[in-house]
Chain A
Amino acid sequence: MIATATRPLLEIKDLSVDYLTDRGAVRAVDRVSLEVQRGEFLGVVGESGCGKSTLLYSIARLLTPPAEIASGDIWFDGHDLVSMSDSELRHYRWKQYSVVMQSAMNALNPVMNIGEQLRDAFDAHQRFTGRQITARSEELLRIVGIDPVHLRSYPHQLSGGMRQRAMIAMALAFTPELVIMDEPTSALDVVAQRSLMLKIKQLQREFGFATIFVTHDMSLVSHFSDRLAVMYAGQIVEIGETARLFAEPKHPYTVGLMRSFPSIRGELQPLAGIPGSPPDLARPPAGCRFHPRCPKVMDRCHMEEPEFYAEEGDLIRCFLFDSDA
């Protein structure tokens, strides 16, 4: 009990997720370890297919076959989520941590109106009177900037931005400790994207929840996240404070990723992508997974797999930072 104050809200240790296929298990998330502090905004970035969404859904314990957690622990507020049964999990879901998905069009039940879907969440966890639920639902919509009349609207009647906001309103129903977000802005145009990000950040400051925010768009999280984790081929390759990571990316993959989008304030630089394409996770390359595409590849990268090496408080999975070498 003494440790509660200092203990992180979420602690992930060596988490691995497999997809069971006809030709054996494919490891989509490989020994990922992460910590999220209370109220912290953690960004997780990587190309599509790098396992970031799978990681997210395994944290939320929402994986469905053929995906399953192969090993590792997820400690949430001192409770082990991995070993919990579905019925035990139900007490944590939504009250302690909630999820915001990529496309609200798909994530909202098309045949129930927004109010009914909010009511569902309330009814699942606590006994409220109808009036309490209505009052709270209206308040939630107001918080995210939607007119409460839309409680009676069906998802197909709302605009894309409003749907995303409605889903965020839903996620805040019980003001949980953690809100897990899977590219919630990617379906929106740039203007709506920006206004939604500002809204999320404002709500986070106001209600103090922690956020894990997954995106393929580094520039999107650059102004909002406290820390950033970069994923490549199922592994975290670099994790550190956002500002420092942006100022001085260390892992060759992060460096490549930074070069592949234009910086608004930085000096003019030619845009350069990363040559090659991510590996097939069914047959990852030996040694470092990035070595076939790495501009700074060394001999040992072909054979050995790098550990995490600490550098200025960041962790980097690259032999360049192995101080013993």
Chain B
Amino acid sequence: MTYLIRRLEFFAITLWAALTMNFIIPRVMPGSPAEAMLVRFHGRASPQTIRTIEIALGFHTDESLLQQYGEYLWNMAHLNLGTSLTFFPSSVGKAIMVGLPWTVGLVGLSTVIAFVLGTLVGMLSAWRRGGILDGALPTVFIMVSAFPYFWIALVAILIFSFTLNWFPLGFGYDLHQHIELSWDFIGNAIWHGFLPALTIVITSIGGWILTMRNTMITTLAEDYVKMARAKGLSPVRIMFMYAGRNAILPNLTGFAMSLGFVISGAILVEIVFNYPGLGYMLLQAVNNEDFALMQGLFLLITVAVLVAVLLADFLTALLDPRTRAAD
């Protein structure tokens, strides 16, 4: 149990660190582009809203830093992230809720697909050591995992949308469609999401393949794998229950930890495809100097990654009896 308590501690500390960073950054950066943003708010928003943003962005120098920090944390605890300039007069929270389902659908799904597929391929590649898969894969995927996500996205659009006309040029659905829960709309959304998803899978799968292949090679040399062979177990059982299961354990938390990196790349993919998710929203925030929205998105994505890390930790505890030890 101590393992999970330690991981919960980590969750809390990281969340606090992210919130604090969010509080400090505007206060230590030279110059104040945020001021320009606030000026544009005046006369448009209620004094109360402006105050929330002001505190988040580091004004009110008359109050002590501690006081500001307290009020900032209070606002955050109530999910009061301020008002978005881009989607005025909508609050940052509401604006984010519009983009969230698209990103969860696209980035979440394709990341999980990439992890599962990559882990399987890496496992097989190590299992058939010296096979065709094992010979070619590492080199190919070392290269691919160093490719910029957004560039793959551009090439994908050029080939599949622009030249071959197989897929739409971008956006999450056809604009004449109504957002509704109909097969028509879902089919349309999948058709639009296919290419961005493919891009994310292609660029992120390499990392999982290589990580899994390398830990699997180490695990395959373990005595308990030799023992499983000696027992005459079927190859499939040895691969999954003895080698695979043990190789995947250290990778689970690693997977969640590196989600931040993957999501970062996926955000850029959304931008290239004009996909109506959080990434595209982030670009709009940058272009409009909408700092409240930017910081809200940063916090949300951090929390999402932290939750994923926590889930991975729970899964590890479930699969590995050693973490349940009383020490």
Direct A–B contact in complex, judged by CB atoms less than 8 Å apart: yes
If A64-B221, A101-B227, A111-B319 touch, does A95 touch B246 (CB 8 Å cutoff)? no
Interface residues of A in 19-48 (CB under 8 A from B): none
Q: Does A311 contact B (CB under 8 A)?
A: no
Q: When the two chains form their complex, are residues B226 and A95 in contact, meaning their CB atoms are under 8 A apart?
A: no
The 10 A-B pairs at the shortest CB distance, nearest first, are namely A93-B232, A106-B223, A107-B223, A99-B230, A90-B232, A154-B321, A109-B224, A107-B227, A121-B231, A124-B233
Interface string of A105-128 (1 = CB under 8 A from B): 011111111000000110011000
Q: Which residues of B contact A57 (CB under 8 A)?
A: 226
Q: How far is the CA of A182 from the CA of B11 in the complex (A)?
A: 46
**28 sampled A-B residue pairs with Cβ under 8 A:** A57-B226, A64-B221, A90-B232, A90-B234, A92-B232, A93-B229, A93-B231, A94-B230, A94-B232, A99-B230, A101-B223, A101-B226, A107-B223, A109-B241, A109-B242, A109-B246, A110-B322, A111-B245, A111-B246, A111-B249, A111-B320, A111-B321, A113-B321, A120-B228, A124-B234, A156-B321, A156-B322, A156-B325
Instruction: Judge if B148 is at the interface, Cβ distance under 8 Å.
Output: no
Cross-interface CB contact of A125 among B220, B224, B229, B232, cutoff 8 Å: B232
Give complex CA distance A94, B319 in Å.
Answer: 27
- Cβ-closest chain B residue relative to A153: B321
Q: Please report whether the interface of chain B is mostly helix, strand, loop or mixed according to DSSP.
A: helix
> Does A244 sit within 8 A of B, measured CB to CB?
no
> Is A103 located at the chain interface by the 8 A CB criterion?
yes
Chain A contact patch, size range: 20 to 34
CB-nearest residue of chain A to B242: A109
Q: Which residue of A lies closest to B129 (CB)?
A: A65
CA distance A153 to B314 in the complex (A): 21
Contact at B223–A103, with CB atoms within 8 Å?
yes
Chain A min CB distance to B317 (Å)? 12
Among A57, A65, A93, the most chain B Cβ lie within 10 Å of the Cβ of A93
Contact indicator B224/A120 (Cβ below 8 Å): no
A106 lies within 8 A of B321 (CB):
no
Q: Does B237 belong to the interface (CB within 8 Å)?
A: yes
A106 to B218, CA, bound (A): 13
Residues of A near any B CB (own CB < 8 A): 57, 60, 62, 64-65, 86, 89-95, 98-99, 101-103, 106-113, 120-121, 124-125, 154, 156-157, 170
Interface 0/1 of B241-276, CB less than 8 Å to A: 110011001000000000000000000000000000
Which residue of the partner chain B has the closest CB to A118?
B231
Interface residue tally for chain B (C-beta within 8 Å): 28
Q: Which residues of B contact A124 (CB under 8 A)?
A: 231-234, 237
B222 at the interface (CB under 8 A from A): yes
Whether B47 sits at the interface, judged by CB under 8 Å, is no
Sample of 17 further A-B pairs with CB below 8 A, known A106-B223, A112-B241, A120-B237: A62-B229, A64-B221, A94-B230, A94-B231, A103-B223, A106-B222, A107-B223, A107-B224, A107-B227, A110-B322, A111-B249, A111-B322, A121-B231, A121-B233, A124-B232, A124-B234, A154-B322
List A contacts of B222 (CB < 8 A). 106
Q: Which residues of B contact A121 (CB under 8 A)?
A: 231-233
Question: Quick one: which of A62, A106, A109 contacts B230, CB cutoff 8 A?
Answer: A62
A275 and B224 CA atoms in complex are apart in Å by 37
Enumerate chain A residues within 8 angstroms of B229, measured Cβ to Cβ.
62, 93
Tell me whether B130 is interfacial, beta carbon within 8 Å: yes
> Complex Cα distance A74/B198, Å?
52
| Residues of the A chain whose Cβ atoms lie less than 8 Å from the Cβ of B319 | 111
Bound form: Cα–Cα A112–B234 in Å: 17
B233 with A98: CB separation less than 8 A: no
Does B235 interact with chain A (Cβ within 8 Å)? yes
Q: What CA separation (Å) do A62 and B241 show in the bound complex?
A: 19
A120 & B233 in contact (Cβ 8 Å cutoff): yes
Give the residues in chain A near B245, CB-CB below 8 Å. 111
Q: Which of A86, A93, A108, A157 contacts B224 (CB 8 A)?
A: A108
